[in-house]
Structure 1
Amino acid sequence: MEHPDHPLTEARRYGYVEDGGVWLRPVLGQPARRIGQVKDTDDDALRYFAQRHEAFRAKVDELLNRLETADNQGSYLMKILHLQEQCKQHDGLGDYETLHRRLHEAEEGLKVSVARNREKNLATKLGLIEQAEELSNSEDWIVASEEVKELRQAWLKTGPVDKELTEELEGRFHGAVQLFFDRRKAFQTDRKVLARRTVDRYRELVNQAETLKNSDQFEATSRQLKQLQTAWRDVNGNLPKKQAAELW
C-alpha cells in the first residue's frame, strides 16, 4: 500500500502550477500570487514550496514555545508582529491563515500581559518617587545617601511604563535625587568653609597667647589668658581631634 504524499497533498490544497510558475492561492486578504517557478517537475516544485512553509511553521512554533517560558515576554512583541507580516509575504505553500491566527492570539495575550506589567511598574515607580522626594529634604546625610543609592538601583531594575508617562516620571525621580545630592554638596561646602574659619580663629587665639608667654606682667597676663580661654570655648568649633590637639 502506497503512503500518501502529505507534502504534495498540502501543496495542492494551498497552491497550484500554471504556465511554469508556482502560485499561492488567495490568503489573508491577499490575491493569488506567483511565488516561484518549476525547475524539474510540477510535483517537485510543489513539494519544495510545501517544505518552505513547514520550515516557516517550525520557526513560528519555536518562537511561541519560547514565549511561554520567557521571563521578559514583552521583548517578544516585535518578533511576533514581524512574523505576522511575514505570513502575508512568505513564499511557501501551506496554511498561513492558521499561523497568522496563532500569532495574532499570542500578540493579543502579550499586550494584556505587557499592560498589566506596566501598571505594576507604574505603581512601583510612583512609590520610589515618593521615597526619593521625602529623602530630598533629609539632613541625615550618611543614612539618606545610602537609601538614595538603593532607590536608584531599584529604579533601574523596574521595567518600563507607558511611553507618555516615561518622561514625567523620569524627571520627578531624577530631580528629587539630584536635589538631595545638591543639598548634600552645599552642606559639605559650608562645613568646609566653617571649618576653615574655625581654624583661623583658633590660630588667631593661639598667636595671641604666644605673645603673652614671655610677659612679666603676671596679673594682666593672667587676666588676658583667661579671656583667651573663654574666647576659645566660645568658638565651639568641631575639628578633628589631631588638629584640635595641635592647636591646643
Structure 2
Amino acid sequence: MSSDPWGRVDDAGTVYVRTADGEKVVGSWQAGSPDEALAYFKRKYDGLVVEIGLLERRVKTTDLSAKDAATAIGHLREQVDAHHAVGDLDALRARLDKLDEAVEERREERKARKAQQSEEARGAKEQLVAEAEELARSDQWRAAGERLRALVDTWKGLPRLDRKTDDELWHRFSHARSAFSKRRKAHFAQLDAQREEARQRKEKLVAEAESLSRSQDWGPTAAKYRELMQEWKSAGRAQREHEDDLWSRFRGAQDVFFQARGEVFAERDSEQRENLTRKEELAAEAEKLLPVTDLKAARPAFRAINERWDAIGHVPREARPRIEGRMHAVERAIQEAEEAEWRRTNPEARARAAGLTGQLQDAVDKLRAQIDRARAAGNNAKADKLEQELAGRQMLLDQAQKGLQEFGG
C-alpha cells in the first residue's frame, strides 16, 4: 500500500483522497505502481488548480458575464465533487465558493448599473419625446425638420428600455414626427393651391388689361388699370414658371395704353419729370432694403414705399423702363427672399435654384454681348437702354446665386 498526505492506494489498487468528510474513492489503478497512481491523480488535481486560477483571473480582470462565470464554476465544482483527483479538494471548494460570491456581487453590480442606465435612457427619451411634441407645433419648417431628424439619430444611439415603456415613448415620438410632416405637407400644398389660384386670377387680369390697351378713353381706362394693378398685387404670386410671363404681358398691355396716352398728353411732360425725380428718390429708398436680411421688416417697408410710388403718377415714357426696373428688381428680390424658406424645404428646390441661376446667367451674358455689339456699332442709346436692363438682371442673378449658395453650392 502507498500513502500521501492527501491520498493513498490500497493493496487492491483502489485510490482514495482524504477530505474533511473522510476518505473518498478516487478510482481504481491497475496499470502501474501505487506511486504512479498517486502521481497521476495529483496531476489531475494540479490541472484543477490551474483551471480555477485561470477562472479567478478572468472573473477579476475581464468582463466575463455572470452567467458564463457561473457555468464555468459549476463545471469545475462537478469535477471537484467527483473526487477524481488527489489533493486538497476542500481548499478548491472554498475557492469556488469565493468565486460564487464574487460573481454574485458582479451580477448585482451589473444589475444596479443596468437599472441606472435604463433610468437615464428613459429620462433621455422622455426629453426627446417632449421636444419632438413641441416641434410638431412649429411653423419653422426647415429648422424644425432638421432638428427632428437629429432627434431620431439621438434616439437610435440610446439603449432600449423594457418593451412596454420603449414602445409607448416611441409611439409618442413617431406620432409627433408624423404630425409635423402632415402639417408641413398641408402647408406647402396650400401654398401650391394658392399659387395656382393666383395664376388663374392673373390670367384674367392679363386678358382684361390687353383688351383695354387700345382704348382712348384716357381717364376711365387709366383708373381701370390702377384697379387692375391693385387686384394684381392682392392676387399673390403664381408659380415661378408663369409669374414673369404674366407680368410681362400685363405690363406690356399697360405700356401700350399709357404710351398712347402719353403722346396725347405730351404737355404733362413737366409733371412727369417731377414724378420721375420723386420716384428716383423712392427707388433709392427701396434699394436700401437690399440685400434682404430682415424679411419681416423689408416687406412692410417696401409696401409703404410702393404705396407712395403708386400715388405719384406716371413718369416720362423713356424713363419708365429704367425707373420701374429698379423698383421691380427690389420687389423681385423681396419675393425671392419670401420663397427662400419654401425652396430650402422643397426637395426639388436645389435643382430649380441651379436652373434659375443658369437661366439668369445666360440672360446676363446675352445682354452683355448685345451691349458690346451696340457699342461697337456706335448705337450708344440702345447700349444705354440695355445697360439699364442688365442692372436689373444682374441684381436678380446675384439674389439667385445667393439662394443657390444656401444649398452648399
TM-score computed with the length of structure 2 as normaliser: 0.46
Q: What does 1:210-229 align with in structure 2 at a 5 Å threshold?
A: 210-215=203-208, 216-217=211-212, 223=227, 226-227=230-231, 229=233
Structure 1 pair 40/16, CA: closer, same or farther in 2 (3 Å)?
Answer: closer
Deviation at 1:181, TM superposition (A): 2.8
Q: Aligned partners of 1:187, 1:33: CA distance in 2, in Å?
A: 77
Q: Could you tell me which residue of structure 1 aligns to residue 366 of structure 2?
A: none
- Asked if 1:240 is matched to 2:240, the reply is no
Q: What does 1:101-140 align with in structure 2 at a 5 Å threshold?
A: 101-138=94-131, 139-140=134-135
Q: Could you tell me which residue of structure 2 aligns to residue 230 of structure 1?
A: 234
1:173-196 per-position Cα deviation (integer Å, ceiling 9, x unaligned): 353134213321332133123312
Structure 1 pair 88/203, CA: closer, same or farther in 2 (3 Å)?
Answer: same
Contact 1:128 1:155 in 2 (8 A): yes
Q: Aligned partners of 2:155, 2:206: CA distance in 1, in Å?
A: 58
Residue type matched to 1:226 in 2? Answer: Q
Contact 1:80 1:103 in 2 (8 A): yes
Q: Could you tell me which residue of structure 2 aligns to residue 161 of structure 1?
A: none
Moved more, 55-64 or 125-134: 125-134
Q: Could you tell me which residue of structure 2 aligns to residue 39 of structure 1?
A: 31
1:82-129 per-position Cα deviation (integer Å, ceiling 9, x unaligned): 322332136222222111111111211231233133223312321221
Q: Aligned partners of 1:133, 1:104: CA distance in 2, in Å?
A: 43
Contact 1:37 1:45 in 2 (8 A): yes
Q: Aligned partners of 1:213, 1:90: CA distance in 2, in Å?
A: 107
Instruction: Give the share of equivalent positions with the same residue, in percent.
Output: 18
Q: Could you tell me which residue of structure 1 aligns to residue 185 of structure 2?
A: 192
Contact 2:16 2:23 in 1 (8 A): no
Contact 2:9 2:15 in 1 (8 A): yes
Q: Gaps (5+ residues) in structure 1?
A: 1-7, 157-167
Q: Could you tell me which residue of structure 2 aligns to residue 203 of structure 1?
A: 196
Q: Aligned partners of 2:165, 2:13: CA distance in 1, in Å?
A: 66
Q: Structure 2 residue aligned with 1:54, among 46, 52, 66?
A: 46
Q: Aligned partners of 1:9, 1:148: CA distance in 2, in Å?
A: 73
- Asked if 1:79 is matched to 2:72, the reply is yes
3-state SS of the aligned residue for 1:19? coil
Q: Aligned partners of 2:124, 2:181: CA distance in 1, in Å?
A: 23
Deviation at 1:73, TM superposition (A): 6.0
- Asked if 1:177 is matched to 2:170, the reply is yes
Contact 1:53 1:94 in 2 (8 A): yes
Q: Aligned partners of 1:188, 1:28: CA distance in 2, in Å?
A: 75
Deviation at 1:214, TM superposition (A): 3.2
Bigger-Rg structure (1/2): 2
Q: Aligned partners of 2:232, 2:111: CA distance in 1, in Å?
A: 67
Q: Aligned partners of 1:29, 1:137: CA distance in 2, in Å?
A: 65
Q: Aligned partners of 1:9, 1:154: CA distance in 2, in Å?
A: 64
| Aligned-CA RMSD value | 3.6
Q: Aligned partners of 2:168, 2:7: CA distance in 1, in Å?
A: 60
3-state SS of the aligned residue for 1:32? strand
- Asked if 1:155 is matched to 2:159, the reply is yes
Q: Aligned partners of 1:16, 1:81: CA distance in 2, in Å?
A: 29
Higher relative contact order at CA 8 Å, sep ≥6: structure 1 or structure 2?
1
1:136-188 per-position Cα deviation (integer Å, ceiling 9, x unaligned): 132345445535533543426xxxxxxxxxxx734323531342133213321
Residue type matched to 2:159 in 1? Answer: W
After the TM superposition, which segments of 4 or more aligned residues of structure 1 sit over 4 Å from their partners?
A: 27-31, 217-222, 241-244
More helix by share: 2
3-state SS of the aligned residue for 1:22? strand
Structure 1 pair 192/97, CA: closer, same or farther in 2 (3 Å)?
Answer: same
Q: Gaps (5+ residues) in structure 2?
A: 136-143, 213-220, 238-337, 357-409
3-state SS of the aligned residue for 1:35? strand
Q: Aligned partners of 1:229, 1:9: CA distance in 2, in Å?
A: 115
- Asked if 1:95 is matched to 2:99, the reply is no
TM-score computed with the length of structure 1 as normaliser: 0.71
Structure 1 pair 227/56, CA: closer, same or farther in 2 (3 Å)?
Answer: same
Structure 1 pair 228/176, CA: closer, same or farther in 2 (3 Å)?
Answer: farther
3-state SS of the aligned residue for 2:55? helix
Q: Aligned partners of 2:20, 2:151: CA distance in 1, in Å?
A: 55
Deviation at 1:69, TM superposition (A): 1.8
Q: What does 1:16-35 align with in structure 2 at a 5 Å threshold?
A: 16-17=9-10, 19-24=12-17, 32-35=24-27
3-state SS of the aligned residue for 2:130? coil
Deviation at 1:80, TM superposition (A): 2.5
Structure 1 pair 57/227, CA: closer, same or farther in 2 (3 Å)?
Answer: same
Contact 2:148 2:177 in 1 (8 A): no
Count of residue correspondences: 224
